[in-house]
A and B are shown apart, each in its own frame.
Chain A
């Protein structure tokens, strides 16, 4: 991490009481996308609103680099219009009485800074807004509105971007339309991005870092792959658990399958529209992984990875989550407690993880910072 990225890091430590709900969260968000991950009611939106200045927490500190946005000890509180954060709201919140162009330039206009036509054109092009500029928000589709909302936040030249479930109000097709733009933001923009989500696939695809929240507390934070592979971190419940693997597209087979290479181990997937050599992140849901004590034979499943059990976590019901260390990375498997007992699983034991090829949904596959598979602007 470079020193400039450290300088612009968001640091949050706040306590807030809302009725019987107590929020007590401390975390940091450096450059890249930091996802606040948790189920509804875990305090995600409250945190983002506190960072934006729309809500004043009872106690704590909020800083971007050395600039104090809020400090209850010294009584410092910067009003929202002086914070320079670009907030992308779940419902867009475009100004209905202004054209798309005026919506986009609103932040510039308010801050009194001179318009930067080059930046404007670049963001309009990146978000594909050129044809919409003279329209009014009422005449846009949900996906278009959200793209304008992203552009509006970016063009305010923020020091920090906040995104509160920006895809939650969109259908699957629109989600797929917007997700690549966030990947490009993550990879092309130096500004830290704090992104609220309760969607495991969004987290898998976008997160550089994850802050897992549960009931107003930070369960765990760290690199996305570390946090998501922790069997103790299942903010959405064991059924939604899943690990992320980094892989490279090795080759496309004539039978319609794509072979990935995860640290040298082959993984077969339904055809992936990526060139051989491109890097991808895939999320493997814990419910799609089966554990075999011996190398299995005569199975229809195509992907079998050798590994060792490194942690076991009994679930609330009859299920359990097993964390496996494989050469391709850490995997989570959700199996029954009965199977754990029957196989005699214990930490350190060798076993095999069986993954069905069809188990990896396209929604859970994304480009990575290392080598995005997306078309980019040719920037000088």
Chain B
């Protein structure tokens, strides 16, 4: 137990692991999140409502259920787990699994924020871009993407914060292995299970609050700066 105000090695390990898990969770889900948000905001296709439901499912399901489903699919005996094993990719009881669980739990938040931003983009600006010779891909890169950057940023920060705090699905899927899958929430839970662990748990609580507040503050500042760059309103074609 480290009662002198600094984090002990176990707490440090949990904090660094949480940051690593959340970072990779967001990094890998971001391109998919943009694609998913674009499909939901702009395209009409059969099964659109199904996709929408699937994306939002982790938000509604008990996290333990999501974790158990992940275990069934990606566990050593699961179909996806067995399919990926020859490629050297394994998730079960590893920090990569914690990242996968965090990514899936944070995905709906990310997609919602980006989709909202996409729906705020004036399609007439994209038409203008096309008449000036931009192919659909270039329209997206030069007009759509810069205009939804504030939304992407918001979605990323929200997803990062959610990924840092994910508990239920993570502990069900990859357990609570110190140094491998024991993230901040799992560590707090573990400390609270042993007598005299409250001090360490409280330190991690403080760390959680600092990370969350820092992320929110950073997103506020960045979003304000971006909105200034876009002028008073990002829709303003005229």
What is the interface of chain A, defined by CB distance below 8 A to chain B? 52-54, 79-87, 89, 91-97, 106-107, 110-111, 136-139, 142, 145, 152-153, 156, 169
Other 6 A-B pairs with CB < 8 A, given A89-B237, A107-B132: A52-B131, A82-B133, A91-B237, A91-B238, A152-B132, A156-B133
Are A89 and B128 touching (Cβ within 8 A)?
Answer: yes
Asked if residues B131 and A81 are in contact (CB atoms below 8 Å), the reply is yes
Query: Do A80 and B127 touch (CB < 8 A)?
Result: yes
Whether the pair B124, A93 counts as a contact (CB closer than 8 A) is yes
Are A81 and B134 in contact, with the CB atoms below 8 A? yes
Report whether A87 and B128 are in contact in the complex, using a CB–CB cutoff of 8 Å.
yes
Q: Can you list 20 A-B contacts with CB-CB less than 8 angstroms, sorted by A residue number?
A: A80-B131, A81-B130, A81-B132, A83-B131, A85-B131, A87-B131, A91-B124, A92-B237, A93-B237, A96-B125, A96-B230, A96-B233, A97-B147, A106-B132, A106-B134, A110-B138, A111-B133, A136-B230, A138-B230, A139-B231
Contacts of A87 in B (CB 8 A): 128, 131
Q: Mark B130-172, 1 if CB is under 8 A from A, else 0.
A: 1111111011001100110000000000000000000000000
Contact of A107 among B133, B229, B233, B234 (CB under 8 A): B133
Q: Closest CB-CB distance, B42 to chain A, in whole Å?
A: 16
- Are B132 and A156 neighbours in the complex by a CB distance under 8 Å? yes
CB within 8 Å for A169 and B231 given contacts A106-B129, A110-B132: no
Q: Which residues of A contact B236 (CB under 8 A)?
A: 96, 137-138
Q: Which residues in chain B, 192-238, are within 8 Å of chain A measured between CB atoms?
A: 229-234, 236-238
Contacts of B132 in A (CB 8 A): 81, 86, 106-107, 110, 152-153, 156
Q: Please state if A96 and B147 are interface contacts (CB–CB under 8 Å).
A: yes
| Interchain CB contact (< 8 A) of A93 among B128, B229, B231, B232 | B128
CB distance from B83 to the nearest CB of A (A): 39
Q: Contact residues of B with A, CB < 8 Å?
A: 122, 124-125, 127-136, 138-139, 142-143, 146-147, 229-234, 236-238
Interface centre among B129, B131, B146 (most CB of A within 10 A): B131
Q: Which residues of B contact A169 (CB under 8 A)?
A: 238
Distance (Å) between the CB of B86 and the closest chain A CB? Answer: 43
List of A residues within 8 angstroms of B237 by Cβ: 89, 91-94, 96
Bound Cα distance from A95 to B143, whole angstroms: 7
Instruction: Chain A residues near B234: list those with CB within 8 A.
Output: 96-97
CB atoms of A54 and B146 under 8 A apart: no
In the complex, chain B residues whose CB is within 8 Å of the CB of A97: 143, 146-147, 229-230, 234
The 9 closest A-B pairs by CB, nearest first: A138-B231, A110-B133, A93-B128, A107-B132, A87-B131, A80-B130, A91-B238, A111-B133, A97-B146
| A residues near B136, Cβ cutoff 8 Å | 81
Of chain A, the residue at the smallest CB distance from B234 is A96
Q: A92-B238, A93-B237, A95-B143 are in contact. Are A81 and B135 (CB under 8 A)?
A: yes
Given contacts A80-B127, A145-B238, contact A96 B135 (CB under 8 A): no
B187 to chain A, nearest CB (A): 42
Task: Say how far A93's CB is from chain B's closest CB, in angstroms.
Answer: 4
Rounded to whole Å, the gap between the CB of A138 and the closest CB of chain B is 2
CA A152 to CA B134, docked complex, whole Å: 14
